[in-house]
Structure 1
């Protein structure tokens, strides 16, 4: 292999005879003036002079390149040659020497480029594409540590290159991760792999799962079950409204304002004033709602209540329930009559409070989640998208303030051991719904909170991991703070423009994004200093929703009524007249409703499987079944 054509201090062209170049593979140019120069293949092609217009078929081949080939002794009339455009991976003072010999490196010659930092303190995310030739010199400890999943054939294959580690300890200086890709790109798979690595390293993570798929209890077929077993006890799934929620009595007025603002659109300063005026520390949902209703009813009949309030005498507690309510309303009116509140404003606050209550957010607390994070575990909170986003806004604010409070107290030498709260990851899928791009009149109450976490979280090591199918819809301020971006297949032009603008991915690599196979990605990271093409490794676990719905339907149909066999297997013969009695016997044994049609379908299936023999009975217009 030789350098040919015109070169610069950062690019050159290389020609080979033996085989084509692989995109993104690493080469070494033995430059006589600068020593070994490490380069990466960024464009490849082949020329065959026997085909018409072959010499002009590729932008890689020009007259200068052809003349260099001839000067080096290549016979373009007899052979096919392979050409690549390469880019230097370090800054050069001189142009790459024309005619210099090019060779493929050994692993130790490029290890610092492929594995910056300590692999034991890194997330093993996959295999670096274009490094297949380095397998021969790869140390044993790095072999077959990252299996690859083939979604087309649904099989797990051995590692085919150098494993890719993301050094997470460098995230102290270069925080936050974004995972972006369209439908079917492997985004959810990449997120699962990242969370497995977070658990393997024993790092705390707070995960919000709107798709009900981030469970790590089932091993991926073809992988080592022990890998899945190792995750048990390192994560806990919480159902929003049942295991996780918000204790209303613990809310500060500011937190309640934030929740009510997130509940519905068209929040106003009048509503904020109403909440700040009427909310009392320790209020329950019932007491706060009751106060809102009482004041609203009194203001609707203000003339009457104004006259009652002007009377100085104390009213005795009446025995009639309606009168007691009226007295309560009068008491609230006397207390807040001068607050300049309107019944319509109070009604709007009540509507928002009712929305939050119907979401099931109130009644539980964050104590169990806090305990899991303090123990270095992953807490996965599941729920419908909208309630989950409202809860996430509150939970992120709560835990972020815990961590920030500890760090600020530590800086002021005021921290106590029992005040410690660990650094943690905040993992949000479909993040563009929670923190959309800022446009006029856009409703996004959580955006300011996440902007603060994105810009200030580095100081406290609170790390965001944001996954989204629509990177263009994500807030630009937050996107700019994501120092590591994992880009999978993306098709929409708007998203491609954002990726090109927000990363160091080249235009040629952006052009490849719509055609990437599922699971292939570009990792653009300030930690690495360059973009690395990666094949995401096979996860050790699988989603509980991984089974094809059609395969699930076939399986359910094939096993429907299988529990009836426990009753049927003891019978030697089954006559048509026995079916009704059998249905009753099955219901009594199994404790569930059984229909005659279900029993008949099960008998027919068992006959096909060879467990029973069937003989039509013309006289009884039915079938006689006998046990084999």
Structure 2
């Protein structure tokens, strides 16, 4: 379709084909947009009803698509959240006309029978930029398809803190830019059912944070997805973060044999001593290892009785040892035997040793704070053992968070001494943040504290409904792929403005290559087609990456600091 350029040529603007789409210059940067229809009703809470023009094909409308309404004083940036068919005469439904006759078809289509869309006003755009919506346009205000300029006015252009994460529906040449500084200030959630591409979405977000130096990340890499090269479902090799940012990302491993077999280059192997594990670390495994409250109480009693070596002594304990404990403490014999059987599983994990020569926590803190490098901890074969994953993630996070609190308190009054913003990434997040344990665990504390101590979470999960409601309310930015469970949809939309209209959008996302971003890092909810994680992405993200020296400067530290 040729867009009219001569405003004086009425044949161009009003063609003989009355079903031809109508275009108009909307006066903003000379952008030309297709006119879709006019506002005929609605409200701010329920959305606005828009009657489509006779030349607008209802099949080209899609939930999640953006439109702009030109009011008398300002523009309204809106999202389509429902599509319907309507008519001026209800009798048409019981006695439809014969549209084989072109004349009858033209008379009825678009006039007697027409398309109707419901749009939700998201933002008001005026000379000062985007603002929250507090009013609505009047009757018969014209509605246009959103142009590239309209989208850029809302989401800005790519820059030092704005990172391109994808394109909006129907505008693939336009980019949606996420504010990375606001992203890492609060916890982030990446949600979606299995197979919707959560790992690739997470990889794009982490690549942006690392490239732009907006923080450092500690990634508990359950399935070895983020550090080194993997093979995607279509058989292509996909680079890891350490290959893209060699000077800014370090790989540590719990399973050196697995890393060597995959040719993944790692800096060192993490070991943990039996004597370093405390009852608080065991308590985190209550649901996963079927530990009762009496078993956890017994763990605290044994730690008090035997000191740091309590786990090894319990594993090697004889029947006489068990009888002695039962006779001299309030721990029942059955409880003790059950706890011993469960703790014996630790012997299968080779990263647990009797005497640990190094300090794993100190090594990670050195990388994160002194060198300001992101850390990917690969689990190798232990990634398929949820108990091992939860034990290590909780053990390290609890101690690193404690160290960060100390560093932040020491830096009071001198911002240059603050450690860099830390984003801790965990998978199967509901296991760490379910209601029964979230209020007692470090992960729940971090989520509730938000940015107080410069530590936030990036949680990846396919069951957001299983995460504690209070924790979900503190997740600042939510990146959500397709969810088909009503409870999960409710959990993701809880606390989001305009949730009723977004429900239909979220439920109709494609299985892959579509996601909706809501919350702190974007000015309004937006449906995107995520960037493809390929060679073009590698080149773009590394070309704009800042150096480690620039990263230290941008994170508020003049140079390396010793801890």
User: Which digits, 9 at most, give the CA deviation of each residue in 1:491-533, with x for residues without a partner?
Assistant: 2233233334354464454234444221211112134343111
User: Deviations for 1:103-143, whole angstroms, at most 9, x for unmatched residues?
Assistant: 45554444342238x6421343221224x2xxxxxxxxxxx
CA distance in structure 2 between the aligned counterparts of 1:515 and 1:104, rounded to whole angstroms:
20
How far residue 489 of structure 1 moved from its aligned partner, in angstroms, is 1.1
Structure 1 position 86 matched with structure 2 position 119: yes
Larger Rg: 1
Contact in 2 for aligned 1:178/1:484 (Cα 8 Å) = yes
Does the alignment pair 1:534 with 2:528? yes
Residues 280/54 of structure 1: CA separation in 2 closer, same or farther (3 Å cut): same
CA–CA distance in structure 1, aligned partners of residues 68 and 438 of structure 2: 52
1:398 is displaced (CA, Å) by 1.1
Shift of 1:396: 1.0
Which digits, 9 at most, give the CA deviation of each residue in 1:315-334, with x for residues without a partner? xxxxxxxxxxxxxxxxxxxx
State the 1:430 CA deviation.
1.7
- CA–CA distance in 2 between the matches of 1:277 and 1:119? 55
- Cα distance between partner residues in 2 of 1:55 and 1:8: 30
Residue matched to 1:436: 434
The equivalent position to 1:357 in structure 2, one of 340, 347, 356, is 347
Contact 2:67/2:77 (<8 A) preserved: yes
The answer as to 2:376 corresponding to 1:379 is yes
Other-structure match for 2:188 = 177
Once the two structures are TM-superposed, the CA of residue 239 in structure 1 deviates from its matched residue by 3.2
Gaps of 5+ in 1: 58-74, 133-159, 303-336, 439-443, 543-628
Taking structure 1 as reference, are residues 371 and 392 closer, same or farther at Cα in structure 2, changes over 3 Å only? same
- Matched position secondary structure for 1:405: helix
Contact 1:479–1:502, Cα closer than 8 Å, also in 2: no
Shift, 1:5, TM fit: 2.4
Q: How many angstroms does 1:192 deviate by?
A: 2.3
**1:459: how far off?**
0.5
Distance 2:41 2:440 in 1: 50
In structure 1, the partner of 2:513 is 519
- Classify the secondary structure of the residue corresponding to 2:352: coil
Q: Distance in 2 between matches of 1:426 and 1:205?
A: 6
Q: Which has the higher contact order (CA 8 A, sep 6+)?
A: 2
Instruction: Check conservation: 2:165, 2:531, Cα contact below 8 A.
Output: yes
Equivalent position SS for 2:175:
strand
For the 8 Å contact 2:228–2:239, the answer to whether it is kept is no
Residue number among 275, 279, 291 corresponding to 1:265 in the alignment: 291
1:365-417 per-residue CA deviation (whole Å, 9 max, x = no partner) reads: 3444333323322323313322111111111101111111111222377x996
Note closer, same or farther for the CA distance 1:294–1:120 as it changes in structure 2 (3 Å cut).
farther
In structure 2, the CA distance between the partners of 1:97 and 1:78, relative to structure 1 (3 Å rule), is: same
1:492 partnered with 2:485: yes
CA contact (8 A) 2:48 2:120 kept: yes
What is the rounded CA distance, in whole Å, between the counterparts of 1:412 and 1:279 in structure 2? 42
Equivalent residues of 2:86, 2:115 under 8 A apart: yes
Paired position in structure 1 for 2:443 = 450
Whole-Å separation in 2 of the counterparts to 1:540 and 1:505: 34
Q: Secondary structure at 1:460's aligned position in 2?
A: coil
Normalization by structure 1: what TM-score?
0.60
Q: Which residue of 2 aligns with 1:319?
A: none
Shift of 1:474: 2.1
Q: Is the 8 A contact 1:208 1:428 kept in 2?
A: yes
Counterpart for residue 402 of structure 1: 403
3-state SS of paired residue (1:199): helix
Whole-Å separation in 1 of the counterparts to 2:299 and 2:455: 29
Q: Secondary structure at the match of 1:458?
A: coil
Q: Distance in 1 between matches of 2:366 and 2:299?
A: 33
Is this contact kept in 2: 1:14–1:102, CA < 8 A? no
Q: For residues 18 and 265 of structure 1, do their structure 2 counterparts lie closer, same or farther at Cα, with a shift above 3 Å needed?
A: same
CA distance in 1, matches of 2:78, 2:503: 20
Q: Is the 8 A contact 1:454 1:481 kept in 2?
A: yes
Change (3 A) 1:398 1:446: farther
In structure 2, relative to structure 1, the CA distance for the partners of 1:385 and 1:97 (3 Å cut) is same
Partner of 1:199: 210
Higher helix content, 1 or 2: 1
How far off its partner does 1:93 sit? Answer: 6.6
Is the CA contact (8 Å cut-off) linking 2:249 and 2:373 kept in structure 1?
no
Structure 1 residues 338-359: Cα deviation after superposition (integer angstroms, max 9, x where no partner): x666666655554454332333
Alignment partner of 2:164 out of 112, 124, 130: 124
Report what 2:390 is aligned to. 389
- How far the C-alpha of 1:423 sits from its partner, in A, is 2.4
3-state SS of paired residue (1:120): coil
Corresponding residue for residue 13 of structure 1: 50
Q: Tell me, in whole angstroms, the C-alpha distance in 2 between the residues paired with 1:351 and 1:200.
A: 46
The 5 Å alignment of 1:314-325 reads none
Paired residue secondary structure (2:79): strand
Bigger mean CA deviation after superposition, 449-458 or 43-52:
43-52
Q: 5+ unaligned residues in a row in structure 2: which ranges?
A: 1-34, 97-105, 125-131, 257-268, 537-563
Alignment match, 2:27: none
Structure 1's 263 and 394: CA in aligned 2 closer, same or farther, altered over 3 A? farther
Query: Which stretch shows the higher mean deviation, 164-173 or 452-461?
Result: 164-173
User: In structure 2, do the counterparts of structure 1 residues 397 and 76 end up closer, same or farther at CA, with 3 Å as the change threshold?
Assistant: farther
Separation in structure 1 between the aligned mates of residue 107 and residue 133 of structure 2, nearest angstrom: 31
Name the residue aligned to 1:239: 253
CA RMSD in angstroms comes to 4.2
Q: Is the 8 A contact 1:3 1:13 kept in 2?
A: yes
- Residue from 46, 50, 70 that aligns with 1:30: 70
Cα-to-partner distance string for 1:49-108 (whole Å, 9 max, x where unaligned): 999937999xxxxxxxxxxxxxxxxx8547676543333333667652323344455544
Aligned residues of 1:436 and 1:473 also touching (Cα < 8 A) = yes
Instruction: Answer whether contact 1:271 1:348 (CA < 8 A) is retained.
Output: no
Look up the match of 1:600: none
Q: How far did residue 182 of structure 1 move?
A: 1.1
Q: TM-score, normalised by structure 2?
A: 0.67
Query: Which aligned pairs between 1:144-163 and structure 2 lie closer than 5 A?
Result: 160-163=172-175
User: Number of residue pairs matched?
Assistant: 448
Picking from 40, 45, 48, the partner of 2:79 is 40
